[in-house]
Amino acid sequence: MVSRRELKKLAEQNGTPLFVVDHDQLRKNYATFKKYLPRVQAYYAVKANSDPAIVKTFYEAGCSFDVASMPEFKIVYQYIKDMPDKQRQDWIWDKIIYANPIKANETLQELNPYKPLVTYDNYEEIRKIKKYAPQAGLALRLKVPNTGAMVELSSKFGAAPGEAVDMILAADKVGLTVEGLSFHVGSQTTNFDNYVAALNLASNIFREAQGRGYNKMFLLDIGGGFPAPYDDGVRPFRELARTINRELDRLFPKKIQILAEPGRFLVATAATAVSKIIGKAVRDGKLCYYIDDGVYHTFSGVIFDHCHYHFKSFKRRGPTQVCSVFGPTCDALDVVSLVEQLPPDLKLGDLLYSENIGAYSHASSTYFNGFPPAKVIHINA
Ligand SMILES: *Cc1c(COP(=O)(O)O)cnc(C)c1O
């Protein structure tokens, strides 16, 4: 992690709000993922933080990518422009999965020449893919339990287990190839049973498909959801990995390739936001600090990601009290936190910082109310 001294220096040099990305931490997170899940190929979910410098660092570390839009696809694809055709084709499945189950016709048309690997979870999508991207390979996204995940996804995506094999056979019937299955247990999943349930469910679908004569599936994509260590309540990654490895070995023969789409786990701990106190007031007896970053910007995760970020002050000693921290816009929604332990004697111009803010934060910043997104600083890139 970036030291407090360095953060302070960067803020003095660059002004605030600042979003500091530590690329050593990105590499470390990727190495941890590989170390504990050696059978699993990691496809970084670019939507967690689509900064091209982050994609580059993961690319150089050997990572693959989960993209969900054409702009994300192009950020990754730029690395293979100059490859010979043949190599490029191997590369594309090895390096990119287009994992948004719902794709516009125009997107499919644009994807088709790349012969991509794409996910789907409904019959309408089979018709669209057949018409607009017949060269694509398919992975069926399954609906799996998301119990206890911080961000639930199962109400929006996934074929019900009961209709999964019908949907595989329907794609096969029109001449498309279903290469395997995918799922997502929900983001920031601290309930490790979700993975166990999803892996068992996927294994049953593999078996049922085989029983009904479909033998072309060779990959399993176990999605994202791997929790970032935001607080002590999150059990260590190696414990989750042990559970997953055990189920993979028990349920899936070695010839099945295992993919995963970690987003949050790879980037959350690699960034720190630095903001400045620009206002101070007491409202209903409670001390309120106003800062130059907020929920329309780096702290967008408070709204979109159901995430709670904490603030630290550079002042180490002295008493603290419960304070509110508000963003700079005129919207009453712009509340970053109502319960922060901060010193009561911070002054206008003093800095605050928030750690572990690399995922689903800067990526969804807006220009609302005329306030631009935080400046991004890359260190150890
Ligand atoms: C968002 C998303 C991910 C990443 O999820 P994390 O919880 O950040 O790991 C992976 N796969 C798909 C399909 C997604 O939509």
Q: Where along the chain do its domains lie?
A: 4-19+269-379, 23-268
Query: Choosing from 63, 288, 307, 330, which is the catalytic residue?
Result: 330
What's the gap in Å between 313 CA and the centre of ligand 1? 32
Burial of 8 (0-12, 13-18, 19+ CB in 10 A): middle
What's the gap in Å between 225 CA and the centre of ligand 1? 6
Signed CA dihedral, 61, 63, 67, 70: sign only: positive
What's the gap in Å between 262 CA and the centre of ligand 1? 6
Q: Which of 342, 251, 259, 359 is nearest to 300 (CA)?
A: 359
330 is an active site residue: yes
What's the gap in Å between 251 CA and the centre of ligand 1? 23
Task: Report the pLDDT value the prediction gives residue 88, as an integer from 0 to 100.
Answer: 72
Task: Output phi, psi for 194, to 5 deg.
Answer: -55, -40
Question: Binning pLDDT at 50, 70 and 90, where does residue 360 land?
Answer: very high
pTM: 0.96
Ligand 1 binding pocket includes 187 (Cβ within 6 Å) = yes
What's the gap in Å between 260 CA and the centre of ligand 1? 9
* Nearest-angstrom CA–CA distance, 100 and 118: 7
β-strand partners of 279: 290
> Domain 4-19+269-379: which topology?
Lyase, Ornithine Decarboxylase; Chain A, domain 1 (2.40.37)
Ligand 1 binding pocket includes 358 (Cβ within 6 Å) = no
pLDDT at 126 over 90: yes
Ligand 1 binding pocket includes 141 (Cβ within 6 Å) = no
pLDDT tens-digit readout, 197-230: 999 999 999 999 999 999 999 999 999 999 999 9
Q: Parallel, antiparallel, or unpaired: how do β-strands 257-260 and 40-45 relate?
A: parallel
Range list of β-strands (E), the chain: 18-22, 40-45, 64-67, 96-98, 117-120, 137-141, 149-151, 178-182, 187-189, 219-221, 257-260, 271-283, 286-291, 312-313, 321-326, 335-342, 351-354, 375-379
**Domain 23-268: CATH superfamily, name plus number:** Alanine racemase (3.20.20.10)
Cβ neighbours of residue 6 closer than 8 Å, sequence gap 6 or more:
379
Q: Which of 350, 168, 205 is nearest to 275 (CA)?
A: 350
Q: Which residue among 181, 188, 261 has the greatest number of ligand 1 atoms within 8 angstroms of its CB, and so is best to mutate?
A: 261
For 9, other C-beta atoms within 10 Å of its C-beta total 11
Task: Report the pLDDT value the prediction gives residue 91, as an integer from 0 to 100.
Answer: 78
C-alpha torsion angle, residues 117, 122, 123, 129 (rounded to 10): -20
Ligand 1 binding pocket includes 262 (Cβ within 6 Å) = yes
Question: Looking at ligand 1, which residue's alpha carbon is closest to its atom 5?
Answer: 224
* Nearest-angstrom CA–CA distance, 279 and 326: 9
Q: What is the DSSP letter of 157?
A: S
pLDDT at 82 over 80: no
User: Highest-confidence range of 88-92, 154-158, 285-289, by mean pLDDT?
Assistant: 285-289
- Angle 193-211/237-251 helices, nearest 10 degrees? 20
Q: Which residue among 29, 43, 47, 360 has the greatest number of ligand 1 atoms within 8 angstroms of its CB, and so is best to mutate?
A: 47
Ligand 1 binding pocket includes 186 (Cβ within 6 Å) = no
